[in-house]
Structure 1
Amino acid sequence: MARGARFLLVLALLAALLAVVLQLYRRRKPLSV
């Protein structure tokens, strides 16, 4: 029934996780990738 809602929820969670990872990656600036 709530297929779209669940899809949007998962998509939002993935987007938030990706944003956090990108911020941490930018702050660390690792020399060796």
Structure 2
Amino acid sequence: DRALFNDLEHVCDDCYNLYRTSYVASACRSNCY
């Protein structure tokens, strides 16, 4: 489902914007979806 993927992608982007580390960006996506 493309809409669900986009919602999850925004969550990861928002998380990255809070911490600004590449580890957070990759860790969010690693076992999320």
TM-score bracket for the superposition, by shorter chain length: 0.5 to 0.7
Report deviation, 1:25. Answer: 0.4
Using structure 2 for the length normalisation, give the TM-score.
0.58
Figure out how many residues of one structure are paired with residues of the other and give that number. 22
Larger RCO, structures 1/2 (Cα 8 Å, 6+ apart): 2
Uncovered stretches (5+) of structure 1, i.e. residues with no partner: 1-9
Identity of aligned residues (%): 23
Using structure 1 for the length normalisation, give the TM-score.
0.58
Structure 1 residue runs of 4 or more that deviate by more than 2 Å after TM superposition: none
Uncovered stretches (5+) of structure 2, i.e. residues with no partner: 23-33
Report deviation, 1:14. Answer: 0.1
